[in-house]
Amino acid sequence: MKASSEDDLLGGVSFYCFLEDLEKNFDARKAALCEKLVELQQKIFCRDGAVISYTGEEEGIRVLAETLPAFTGRLSGETREKADQQVKLEVLNEGFKCSSQVQYVSAGGNFKEHGFEYRGSMRVLKTILGYEYLWIRLRVKGGAYGCMSYFNRDGEMAFVSFRDPNLKETLEVYEGIPEYLRNLQIDDRDMTKYIIGTISESDTPLQPAALGMRSFMALMMGITTEQLQQERDEVLSCTVEDLRRLADPVESVLSDRMFCAVGGEEKIEENKALFTSVKQLTGEEHV
């Protein structure tokens, strides 16, 4: 999952390890760091390719037009070039040890890489998993503090537990989702409740600032009004059969056996045969 890998580099465990190494060797690297930060400043804060998002009264547009040149004039005049940087993707299946008595266990992948497309019914599935399958097996029976799942337009799918006393058992719960879907039985009353619960997240009244941010993010992500309406229609018309058909994309992702866990040393060590590598969050690796 390229986007998630980039998120990790910019703000996840990989970034944490980078900062840790930087702190240990700061005196030797501070000059090069300052030089690199100045270089990045020129590349990021430049007029070329700048996008301005404004939410407010029409009068504000006039004020913005009058004051904007003074601001953009202070930006770098460097030409922005699209970087063709290749992110190396690997199935790492890492276990991270920390001073904790509970685990955070995740499994996921990309269903588009298996030939499946995003559907609005996936949002209904997220609601059902959160109230039924994952909630009952991980929270009620397993004792985890919480659980979640997500499905996005880029094809990313993931299942997550947090403050979870278990590890291997939780991965087995994820593996059972396809069978659960193929045998899914929901009556009309409950189906209506799940659809209402799902669509309410789409049509929640928003303050102007939130509306502006949503529009801006849709622009940046290339999401059109037509796509949003199609998703809404697919949620409203979702049937039990639509949900059963999601067993195949879920199974395809889980068959890749991509997972990660952060938790207590004892539990990670107890299940270390599951992982390709086991690491301390300090960066020290133990295979």
166-195 pLDDT per residue, tens: 999 999 999 999 999 999 999 999 999 999
* pLDDT(11) > 50: yes
- CATH number for the domain spanning 233: value is 3.30.830.10
Domain-located, residue 155: yes
Asked if residue 87 lies in contact with residue 6, where contact means CB atoms within 8 angstroms, the answer is yes
Q: What is the mean pLDDT of residues 33-57?
A: 88
Q: Which helix (H) or strand (E) holds 164?
A: strand 156-164
Domain-located, residue 86: no
Q: How far apart are CA 58 and CA 218, in angstroms?
A: 22
Number of compact structural domains in the chain:
2
- Whole-structure pTM value: 0.85
Q: Which domain holds residue 220?
A: 94-286
Please choose, from the candidates 262, 260, 107, the residue with its C-alpha nearest in 3D space to the C-alpha of residue 178: 107
Domain-located, residue 89: no
Q: Hey, what long-range contacts does 127-133 have (CB within 8 A, 24 or more apart)?
A: 127/194, 127/197, 127/198, 128/186, 128/194, 128/243, 129/159, 129/177, 131/194, 131/197, 133/177, 133/180
211-266 pLDDT per residue, tens: 999 999 999 989 999 999 999 999 999 999 999 999 999 999 999 999 999 999 99
Domain-located, residue 82: no
* pLDDT(287) > 70: no
* pLDDT(35) > 60: yes
Domain-located, residue 235: yes
Domain end (from 72, 104, 129): 72
Domain-located, residue 279: yes
Residues 112 and 142 reside in one and the same domain: yes
* pLDDT(1) > 70: no
Residues 198 and 275 reside in one and the same domain: yes
* pLDDT(106) > 90: yes
Residues 184 and 263 reside in one and the same domain: yes
